């Protein structure tokens, strides 16, 4: 199966769009720190999925899927911090369910590859 047909990849791309829209409301002085870090994290998720799918073994694939999962946890922490500092223009609870959905899909994909 082509990685572009995977629901996890499609949902991770949607999360990128959500997060990019969200960071537009951040203060300009955060552009090169928290905003940049958040964008790097969220981009890492859909980028590491095909990276893993392109590998020759399940072990290698799982390695890249774990990197994507780590980026999701880092992203979640950074969004919580942004919320703590009042940078979010809307309720964090509007974003967290989308992030949780991607986590669940990614965990399922990791578990699938562990069984191969």
pLDDT tens column, 58-94: 999 999 999 999 999 999 999 999 999 999 988 899 9
**Please, what is the average pLDDT of the chain?**
95
CATH of the domain at 84: 1.20.1440.60
Comparing CA positions, the residue from 43, 100, 42, 49 lying closest to residue 75 is 42
- In whole angstroms, give the CA distance from residue 16 to residue 72: 11
Structure tokens at 79: 């969004």
| Predicted pLDDT of residue 115 | 94
- Number of domains observed in the structure of the chain: 1
Question: Which residue has tokens 């790097």?
Answer: 40
> What pLDDT does 76 receive?
97
The Cα angle at residue 113 between residues 107 and 116, in degrees rounded to 5:
150
Provide φ and ψ at 24, rounded to 5°: -60, -25
The predicted structure's pLDDT at residue 111: 97
DSSP 8-state code for residue 29: G
End-to-end C-alpha distance for the chain, whole angstroms: 15
Full residue range of the structural domain in which residue 61 is found: 3-114
pTM score, whole prediction: 0.95
């Amino acid at each position: 199966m082509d990685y572009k047909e995977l629901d996890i990849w499609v949902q991770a791309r949607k999360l990128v769009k959500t997060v990019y829209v969200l960071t537009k409301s951040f203060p300009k002085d955060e552009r090169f720190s928290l905003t940049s870090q958040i964008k790097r994290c969220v981009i890492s998720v859909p980028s590491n999925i095909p990276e893993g799918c392109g590998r020759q073994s399940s072990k290698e694939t799982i390695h890249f899927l774990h990197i994507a999962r780590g980026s999701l946890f880092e992203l979640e922490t950074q969004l919580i911090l942004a919320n703590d500092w009042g940078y979010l223009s809307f309720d964090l609870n509007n974003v967290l369910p989308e992030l949780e959905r991607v986590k669940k899909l990614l965990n399922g994909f990791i578990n699938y590859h562990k069984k191969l």
